Structure 1
């Protein structure tokens, strides 16, 4: 009885939390990622419907067959709204095309199966049909994380890692839930749902914190946004690369870029992106991306952070900066966080900044 009461308590927290958080994200207090947050709020609202019948029964309300059918019907759109939210996080200027209608195939199949199934099977289908969308979301974000390095020197706050984590957790828990439902249908009826409810509760509250603090990924200025998106999406579309810089100008621009990096040190600006650096050498972002890829065989992220790491190495071995903490060195070198500094430094030097400093000082 005690376990059942605790399960009901967690159930109320889960359902109520989803509703409150969905409306909070809909209000969008930070006024960022408007389309993405709108669809994410709808996703959370529909996600709450998976526990709506349990809440109604907890309140001693017996839902009518029509209401049950309606709830199962709206659940069809739950993964679609998560998918749309992901699409607009990745590309806020996305324009829908006819080929996008293919995402309605799974919901239509799901609807047909629900209309011709018993309640237990319908419940199973309502959960399992989320899996294809979650898998697609995971791989789309992983591709986006690679592309974003073409335009930004600092990706920690815009790489949507929380969405990767969410999709991974959801996929795992939904697989467990599907197995649980199959066990209930074909082997033995087991009514203990406490563990699953607690896991979903953890996912919801941890995810909500991340989405609420997600900053705007692309510049608010429409022209700047379009320029960066055009460069970022260029590789994804696999268009044939034209020669954007004449041969006679190529080496001169390489020298100019290297001179700017050494004299003006733009890499010390933690918010440096492809657009800002291209302005410094008076070429457009497409040309700078072309120059980096073909002249240095590097993307923008690696090119800029290479200079930051070198600058940090100089500071870590300088007597003038002995009293600076690792975080202080990170900020002085153009990094925006200690985590990013440690990760990038170790990737390039094969040791952490602390290890490098100790080795250089002979400790």
Structure 2
């Protein structure tokens, strides 16, 4: 089997697996249907892009269709960007304004019309010889790189804000959604770097190296798609969104400070609120609820959620996530040292104090005590 046969084989398998994953995402039952549909369409367009590994044009009409197919890669990153928004924000909805993401795809195809789509004065062989040297081809490659940089940066910014909002408003120690999306984005960044290197080799004259680079790109695409399938099957809970209307403390603090009373009165009120909050946490132990949110705690202690957010995240200088975990860890420490609780395993204790993951419990416990739970119990 030569390199071209190998490349075509990998391409066919990648397209099949991508379409299989898209079918799974479109048919699986889930609360976040929009995210699944966006991700499914991302894989459908990925399959369209990967089909270029084994599709050969035999005439000018087919070549035009093949060139049009290749421009579909400009729809991949917008779909991934919208998918990330749909996963991160539970109230995200598609709107007419999102059609703006089609502009690069439309512009490129309009640019291609005069000298590529409508150019029939040359034979197929002659046209192919000059195709890669046309300014329009350079244009789409530059457009792809600028578009990719824009969306990859935008996705990282979305993930950063999502993580900050999550830590400020939720006490559930599971941040698997953020980690998964961050991993996906990093994998895409690495994969795209390989594609850029491959495109540079296209003009280097090293045809053999270019063919092997195509094999590598196809293999990476196949690996990524299979990885997504394993993630989807083993971790269906990854779609965990937050409300997009939630604001970070640094965004709402100026609004509250403008309406506040004198500095002395404000400081006295803050001290009283902190004391009442700490007393409530000790007496009522709301942190035992693994899915506790700042909104739920706000309802319990009758403090507006905006004020509570500022109180914890700004005046106490803690994320809500860390604030709640301190009480969980303190209760876990007491249970680990309690002689009457020796029969309880570490796993039983972590569930009892409000954690739902052994890894997150161990991480938080070591952060607060510099010891593992087992080492602390034996110390």
TM-score category (smaller protein):
0.7 to 0.9
The aligned residue for residue 321 of structure 2 is 301
Report the CA distance between 1:3 and its aligned residue.
6.7
CA distance in 2 between partners of 1:265 and 1:237 (Å):
29
Greater RCO (CA < 8 Å, at least 6 residues apart): 2
The aligned residue for residue 240 of structure 1 is 254
Report the CA distance between 1:40 and its aligned residue.
1.7
CA separation of 1:245 and 1:355: change in aligned 2, threshold 3 A = farther
CA distance in 2 between partners of 1:71 and 1:6 (Å):
22
Q: Is contact 2:26–2:40 with CA below 8 Å preserved after alignment? A: yes
2:344 aligned with 1:324, yes or no?
Answer: yes
The aligned residue for residue 41 of structure 2 is 42
CA distance in 1 between partners of 2:29 and 2:303 (Å):
37
CA distance in 2 between partners of 1:189 and 1:134 (Å):
30
Report the CA distance between 1:19 and its aligned residue.
0.9
Q: For residues 245-280 of structure 1, give each alpha carbon's deviation from its aligned partner in whole angstroms, at most 9, with x where no partner exists.
A: 873654433232212211111111111111211121
CA separation of 1:101 and 1:155: change in aligned 2, threshold 3 A = farther
Task: Find the residue that maps to 1:93 and give its secondary structure.
Answer: coil
Match of 1:207 among 221, 228, 232: 228
The aligned residue for residue 348 of structure 1 is 368
The aligned residue for residue 26 of structure 1 is 26
Match of 2:205 among 187, 194, 197: 187
Match of 1:90 among 75, 88, 99: 88
Q: Is contact 1:35–1:92 with CA below 8 Å preserved after alignment? A: no
Q: Is contact 1:335–1:341 with CA below 8 Å preserved after alignment? A: yes
Q: Number of aligned pairs?
A: 347
Q: For residues 57-91 of structure 1, give each alpha carbon's deviation from its aligned partner in whole angstroms, at most 9, with x where no partner exists.
A: 5xx98880232132123222111111111122222
2:275 aligned with 1:261, yes or no?
Answer: no
Q: Is contact 2:298–2:308 with CA below 8 Å preserved after alignment? A: yes
Report the CA distance between 1:49 and its aligned residue.
1.4
Structure 1 unaligned spans of 5+: 220-224
CA distance in 2 between partners of 1:85 and 1:236 (Å):
27
CA distance in 1 between partners of 2:185 and 2:179 (Å):
10
Q: For residues 272-330 of structure 1, give each alpha carbon's deviation from its aligned partner in whole angstroms, at most 9, with x where no partner exists.
A: 11121112102232121122134422121110001111111122222233343332221
CA distance in 2 between partners of 1:137 and 1:157 (Å):
17
Q: For residues 91-121 of structure 1, give each alpha carbon's deviation from its aligned partner in whole angstroms, at most 9, with x where no partner exists.
A: 2434789997875665566556766683584
Q: Is contact 1:110–1:125 with CA below 8 Å preserved after alignment? A: no
CA distance in 1 between partners of 2:223 and 2:111 (Å):
31
Structure 2 unaligned spans of 5+: 117-130
CA distance in 1 between partners of 2:282 and 2:251 (Å):
34
Rg larger in 1 or in 2? 2
The aligned residue for residue 69 of structure 1 is 67
TM-score (norm 1): 0.82
2:154 aligned with 1:136, yes or no?
Answer: yes
Which stretch shows the higher mean deviation, 303-312 or 130-139?
130-139
CA separation of 1:155 and 1:46: change in aligned 2, threshold 3 A = farther
Q: Is contact 2:45–2:75 with CA below 8 Å preserved after alignment? A: yes
Q: For residues 165-192 of structure 1, give each alpha carbon's deviation from its aligned partner in whole angstroms, at most 9, with x where no partner exists.
A: 1111111111112112211322311312
CA separation of 1:113 and 1:307: change in aligned 2, threshold 3 A = farther
Task: Find the residue that maps to 2:312 and give its secondary structure.
Answer: helix
TM-score (norm 2): 0.79
Which stretch shows the higher mean deviation, 70-79 or 174-183?
70-79
Q: Is contact 2:68–2:109 with CA below 8 Å preserved after alignment? A: no
